Amino acid sequence: MASDKAALIREAPVYDGDDPNLLPAIAVIVHALADRAGAPVPDWVAGHRAPEDVMMFAWPFDGRYARWVRRRSLAVCAYHRVWFHPRTLDKGTPDWWLPWD
């Protein structure tokens, strides 16, 4: 891990495609990881919100599964309108396989 975690996320990503959810999805993950690490949230993060509520990884955001994820999601998900289970942040760590509830 870099000694200056803030440096890893300081620069805004560049994307000139037509997916309106890509930058908000990146922003919500950066926001959540910065909060968890106690690093400052970069200014560029606040400028990225999805036009409507979406589920990370493209599942339709409706029904029982969406309600289940929304109840467990971090507060930053509501701001960015991109929802995911907080254990997603543990992917690639030994904690990934622990129970999700």
What are the residue ranges in the chain where pLDDT is below 50? none
Task: Name the DSSP letter for residue 92.
Answer: T
Q: What is the pLDDT of residue 5?
A: 67
What is the spatial distance between Cα 19 and Cα 2, in angstroms, rounded to a whole number?
30
Residue 41 in contact with residue 30, Cβ under 8 Å?
A: yes
User: Which pLDDT score, from 0 to 100, does residue 30 have?
Assistant: 95
